């Protein structure tokens, strides 16, 4: 998550950015702050197939599946199936 993502999501949840980071995020030295999503552990913000922070979800979720590795040079999707798509990525 970018700093802006953290600020938006923490504001939406009415907690401080520091609280949000400590409570919900992991850190990796190569990619920075992220929400952990595992095969047997869906995102903590996924509830009833909807994203609880939909209005402030991270860019990676907002833009899924139109990621660089999934589109051609014209922006067309190269595939239709994805391994573990989050249902919340499409929720409005």
- The rounded distance, in Å, linking the Cα atoms of 4 and 45 is 18
Given the rule CB under 6 A, which of 15-23, 25-33, 42-50, 72-80 is the region that contacts ligand SF4?
A: 42-50
- The rounded distance, in Å, linking the Cα atoms of 49 and 41 is 14
- The rounded distance, in Å, linking the Cα atoms of 84 and 89 is 11
Q: Which of 6, 8, 24, 43 binds ligand SF4 (CB under 6 A)?
A: 43
Given the rule CB under 6 A, which of 11-19, 21-29, 37-45, 66-74 is the region that contacts ligand SF4?
A: 37-45
Q: Indicate the SS3 state at residue 55.
A: helix
- The rounded distance, in Å, linking the Cα atoms of 12 and 89 is 17
Residue count, binding to ligand SF4 (CB under 6 A): 12
**Measured from the CB of residue 80, what is the shortest distance to ligand SF4 in angstroms?**
19
Q: Which residues bind ligand SF4 (CB under 6 A)?
A: 35, 37, 43, 45-46, 51, 53, 57, 61, 86, 88-89
């Amino acid at each position: 998550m970018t700093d802006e993502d953290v600020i938006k999501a923490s504001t939406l949840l009415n907690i401080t950015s520091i609280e949000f980071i400590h409570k919900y995020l992991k850190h990796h030295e190569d990619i920075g702050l992220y929400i952990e999503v595992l095969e047997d552990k869906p995102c903590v913000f996924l509830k009833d197939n909807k994203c609880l922070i939909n209005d402030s979800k991270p860019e990676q979720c907002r833009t899924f599946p139109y990621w660089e590795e999934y589109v051609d040079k014209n922006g067309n999707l190269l595939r239709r199936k994805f391994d573990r798509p989050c249902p919340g990525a499409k929720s409005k």
